[in-house]
A and B are shown apart, each in its own frame.
Chain A
Amino acid sequence: MKVKVLSRNPDDYVRETKYDIQRVPRNYDPTLHPFEVCREYTQALNSTKLDRVFAKPFLASLDGHRDGVNCMAKHTSSLSTLLSGSCDGEVKVWNLTKHECVRTLQAHEGFVRGMVVRHCGTSFFTVGDDKTIKQWKMEAPGYGEEEEPLNTILGKTVFTGLDHHQKDAVFATCGQQVDIWDEQRSSPIRSFTWGVDSFSAVRFNPVETELLASCASDRSIVLYDMRESAPLKKVIMTMRSNTLCWNPMEAYHFTCSNEDYNLYTYDMRYLDRPMTVHMDHVSAVLDVDYSPTGKEFVSASFDKTVRIFPKENGHSREVYHTKRMQHVICVKWSADNKYILSGSDEMNIRLWKANASEKLGVLAPREKQASNYSQKLKEKFQHHPQIRRIARHRHLPKNIFHESKELRIMKEARRRKERNVRKHSKPGAVPVVSEKEKHVVTVVK
């Protein structure tokens, strides 16, 4: 009797070498895999939950300063090196991988106001309350050598800020006026004044390297071109801006941190109205720094929190705080886009992950694919209420929570009042002013 048996061509299922991937026959017929939306939704929900479970952003705290940390500087070529200056004039160099201080030097008497590493990474500059600009070598002095600056410039007034040019041997300081210095000279090669008495910050544009911007105490932000003899333009806002940061990937965008609890992202060509108003802080914003990819920025506030904003969003995607962290004075985003560093009043520098739930270290290919897939799923279903609720849920300190609630109520009350006034006055007499336009007083040419 002939028995018919199932037989397959071995070509269909035998791999040619043992290094080949086993072929797994799959049938993509949709009827065999029903409920695709429901299943993916469940996966998205689960991964959102896991995201929250694994969100442990705090990595380390670097202690050693004997006064509040007033400024920090990233090393330009070494990711593991960080410099910090405190309110007692001390500068510390940190090794971030070992979480330890590798060098301490008494740079100034009084505050260290500003600090910047030269583009080559071999030396750095500091300015302080003692009216001096000092240049220091990056390497620690050898045995028996004294800790001495390479160069010291004595200025006429106090310097409050400092930034270095991206490529040339030129740096800028601010104080009573904005000065451009050549590294080789002891007097500024150019000084800019425009009817204001003091500046709080100055920053070079990292892309269009000859441009710079500064925040002044008369509530203005002033733009300069290093090659011109006069400033370019200034915008006066309702309250003072503390610092600003240029987007490192987009030449004409910058963000400033303001005393009115908000951050404003401007296009430097159209200063009459900010592109985005970033709200969420409940106290003055003291510092801001862009991620090196130019997609997000981090802000430090007097309300003892650090927040991360996507550059085009009005609200933050993440808030970091700890029980012991006081007013955060300075903040930096590491050059590899993975970490955030914050320096605060209570003498500590804290190291955070930029993505709270990201797994650091080497990922296996399958792991990477799985995380990419879950990321995309979260993106796909982000508008669904349950997923949004979980993804947006953050625990906040009580005072901040109540403060933000109060601010919300106040804002709502103001809006209601304005609406009522408009209702009871002649049509067109009370114009509608958008949130973006509200905070700009004028643009001075």
Chain B
Amino acid sequence: EGEEEEEEVYDNDENITSEEEEEEDERKHQKLLEAISSLGAKRKKTLGERSEAAVQMSEFTVTAEGERDRVDLSDLIGSMEKTPGVTSRTKKQLKNLQKDNKTIESPLSRQETDRIQRDVAFQKAATEVTKWKGVIKQNQRAEQLIFPLNREPSGPKPIERVVTSWKAHTPLEEEILLPALQKARALQSYYEAKARRARKIKSKAYHKVHNKAKRKEFLKRSMRLELNKIEMARMQERMSLKHQNSGKWAKSKVIMGKYDLVARKAMQQQLEVNKDLTQKIVTSLNAEEEEEEEEGGDAEVLPDFVNDAEQAVDPSNPWMRGKLSEDPTEKDMIVDLTAEEEVKEPEEEVLLREFDERRKQRQAQEAEAQITVEEEDDDEEEEEEDKAADEEEAELSVFTSLFREKAEAAADVTDTSAQLEEGLTRIRTLEDVELLSVPQEEAAADEAPLPPPPAENPPPVPQKREAAKPKKRKRAIELKEVLTKEPKVIQVPLAPTVEDAEDADEPLDQRGLIKEAFAGDDVVADFLKDKRKQEDAGKPKVVDLTLPGWGEWGGTGLKPSRSKRRRFRTKAVPPPPRKDQRLPSVIISENRNSAVRLHQVNSLPFPFQNHSQFESTIRSPLGRTWNTERTVKKNIKPKVVTQMGAIIEPMAREELLKDKRPAAGRGGRGGRGGRGGRGGRGGRGGRGVDSQRRHIRDKRAEK
């Protein structure tokens, strides 16, 4: 069947080719007919004919010739049924189409499509722009904005960044810049290579040569020379006070040392250096001999106090005095020096000899004391057994206890430093003069020519006596306890002593003087009167508006009736209680001061929500009279800072990226500033006017 159809189609084609001329004739004929018909009757609308492919095709120019020849969908489907290749699904769809009689909606008008397009574009632009909301909000809230926003840190920049930051804007610049860049790069690589080579040279040959030389030198030098050098250093060290922490620098470090760990360390290092340098090195006999010789030569050492000239600025200031004694290492050194060296100077020798003698004496005394104490102890035990008390014995016991104390003190003293030792031995001798027997007095007499004690140390003798007294009393009380009879209590009126009377007189006189001076005026009474007056003035007054004679009989001696009086008497409402009602010594005026009112705010200003907010902002002072320096700096930070001569570019897209990053990065530009100051009103000044106002604004925004 298919083949037959094809044949038919071919036949048709042939027909078309053969009939072309006939058709043309027909068309001409028809046109002619149309022209003729149009001449007579109403004009028929002529439709344009399509003759060639046009760029723009109008729906009005399409001709629909031969209404009857229109191809229907059913015709096409009919042929479809016969073709085997078409799937059933397609057939079904086509059938559905045939059933459906709906027409497709006509396209929207151009105005409408344009509007939709515009709307879509606007929505897109709006969402894009809304991305900036975060940045804008943040900048509005920022305590301080510093423009230009993307400032580069000042100071030198690395060459790489400078080179890469060059940008050619025009082709001409590019033309110039490219070779320049190449040259810069070439130069850079050349210098790098050179530097590398130089380093290499140093690492091989240079070091080899140097090592050789060093070894030679080392060999050349003998041990002796080396040691000499060390000895020399030691000598110098001992001669000088360089590392003894007594110089200016060291003193400053002592002060700094309280606050600074580094300074303290530096001080310790100094001392260690000193220690290292002064240490004796025992190597060979020769070296030692030399050392001894040298020691004999360099023994001249300045006393330490030479360096302490500055210390004597203010001897009365305990802070200044405390300085030296605080440094234990120094003192140790002094002691060491005196102990180690056999001082050649006569004075010091004498002193040392005295020290020795005293030491020996002390030891002897201690030995004696020990023996006596033991003896006394024995005696006491006997006494306890006997339970009998004699005055002599009591005295003796007191004496022994005192003596024991002395001995203990002496033992303590030997432990402490040599300087203190001097004073204490002397004290003991003084006591001995009073208390002890002849041979000890003699010993004291030996020590008498010693230099007098420094004025600063008060003579402790009376203290010692006081210390002795309670012991005596204690003994007396024990004696009283033995007595069974109770003492009679006689009440005697207290009579002021002479001294007391003198003390008491003065204020009395003062009071009297004041009384005398203000004899006439009674201030308190005046005040009370004044207050009462003010109170009365504040009280509402009764207004009496009664008029005699109205509605009643009039005449002399006639009073308006009670009912009338009640009617026309107006009583005002009592005012609220006065503020000073319960404060007897205060008058608080509650009147308005019109002069002040001129300077006061009438209504609540805009950003504030209530009066207390506004008042608290006003109440917190900003200035440095009331706030710490740091708080003030924070308080007076201006909101916008611009730099003269710096061009402020519009907001760049980088800000948006910066905003997307965690907020920590942007904290620097907003309000950094630490917490407010420590003291006084630091905390109060901390919350500034601005921050509070901002807070209020934010709250409003939330609402």
Contacts and interface: CB of A to CB of B under 8 A. Distances in A.
B651 A248 contact: yes
B319 interface: yes
Given A207-B651, A223-B125, A380 B599 contact: no
B650 A292 contact: yes
A79 B118 contact: no
A53 interface: no
A9 B147 contact: no
B489 interface: no
Interface string A29-60: 11001001101110100000000000000000
B118 A28 contact: no
A330 B627 CA distance: 47
Nearest to B118: A230
A230 B121 contact: yes
Interface string B114-146: 110111011011101110100010010000010
A404 interface: no
Contacts of A249: 136, 139, 650-651
A36 B626 contact: yes
B266 to A, nearest CB: 15
Contacts of A7: 314, 316-319
Contact of B121 (A207, A228, A268): A228
A225 B128 CA distance: 11
A232 B314 CA distance: 87
B127 to A, nearest CB: 9
B647 A252 contact: no
Contact of B626 (A28, A369, A379): A28
A419 interface: no
- Of A7, A27, A232, most B-chain CB atoms within 10 Å: A232
Interface residues on A, range: 35 or more
B601 A385 contact: yes
Contacts of A3: 316
A280 to B, nearest CB: 18
Interface stretch (B22-30, B363-371, B440-448, B636-644): B636-644
B650 A207 contact: yes
B264 to A, nearest CB: 15
B601 A79 contact: no
A293 B147 contact: yes
Interface in B513-572: none
B645 interface: yes
A101 interface: no
A151 interface: no
A337 B125 contact: no
A139 B679 CA distance: 61
B125 to A, nearest CB: 5
Nearest to B314: A7
Given A77-B647, A122-B169, A338-B642, A231 B126 contact: no
A27 B625 CA distance: 9
Contact of A37 (B130, B601, B621, B633): B621
A340 interface: no
A252 B645 CA distance: 28
B244 interface: no
B152 to A, nearest CB: 16
Contact of A269 (B115, B126, B258): B126
Interface in B662-689: 679-682, 688-689
DSSP majority for the B interface?
loop
Nearest to A30: B681
A376 B122 contact: no
Given A7-B319, A252-B129, A379-B689, A293 B122 contact: no
- Of B256, B258, B601, most A-chain CB atoms within 10 Å: B601
B132 A385 contact: no
B619 interface: yes
Contacts of B267: none
B636 A376 contact: yes
B429 interface: no
B599 A385 contact: yes
Contacts of A29: 680
A372 B635 CA distance: 9
Contacts of B258: 11
Interface in B147-184: 147, 169-170
Contact of B319 (A10, A223, A373): A10
B96 interface: no
A323 B648 CA distance: 32
Interface string A284-298: 000000001111000
Contacts of A229: 117
Nearest to A225: B125
Contacts of A373: 622-623, 632, 636
B701 to A, nearest CB: 13
A166 B627 contact: no
A39 B623 CA distance: 10
DSSP majority for the A interface?
loop
Interface in A320-376: 335-338, 360-361, 369, 372-373, 375-376
Interface in B177-202: none
A41 B617 CA distance: 13
- Of B118, B617, B621, B650, most A-chain CB atoms within 10 Å: B650
Contact of B115 (A77, A294, A379, A445): A445
B255 interface: yes
A231 B125 CA distance: 11
Interface in A214-263: 223, 225, 228-233, 248-252
B605 interface: yes
Interface string A377-421: 101110111100000000000000000000000000000000000
Interface in A299-336: 335-336
B689 A385 contact: no
B490 interface: no
Given A11-B258, A77-B647, A293-B145, A251 B318 contact: no
A235 to B, nearest CB: 12
Given A250-B136, A293-B640, A208 B650 contact: no
A445 B602 CA distance: 47
Interface in A261-292: 268-269, 292
B646 interface: yes
B318 to A, nearest CB: 6
A5 interface: yes
Contacts of A79: 645, 647
A251 B129 contact: yes
B648 A292 contact: yes
Nearest to B119: A445
B598 interface: yes
B628 interface: yes
A40 B621 contact: yes
A379 B689 CA distance: 9
Contacts of A10: 319-320
Nearest to B604: A383
A120 interface: yes
A335 B642 contact: no
A40 B623 contact: yes
A85 interface: no
Contact of B122 (A76, A232, A292, A338): A232
List the 3 closest A-B pairs by CB distance, nearest first.
A28-B680, A206-B650, A292-B648
Given A10-B320, A232-B125, 18 more contacts: A5-B316, A9-B319, A10-B319, A27-B680, A33-B625, A36-B625, A40-B623, A211-B125, A223-B125, A229-B117, A269-B129, A292-B147, A292-B648, A294-B651, A336-B645, A337-B642, A385-B599, A445-B118
Interface of A: 3, 5, 7-11, 16, 27-30, 33, 36-37, 39-41, 43, 76-77, 79, 120, 122, 166, 206-208, 211, 223, 225, 228-233, 248-252, 268-269, 292-295, 335-338, 360-361, 369, 372-373, 375-377, 379-381, 383-386, 445
24 contacts: A11-B255, A16-B252, A28-B680, A28-B682, A29-B680, A36-B626, A37-B618, A37-B619, A231-B118, A232-B121, A233-B118, A248-B648, A249-B139, A293-B640, A295-B640, A336-B646, A336-B647, A338-B642, A375-B638, A376-B636, A376-B638, A379-B690, A383-B605, A385-B599
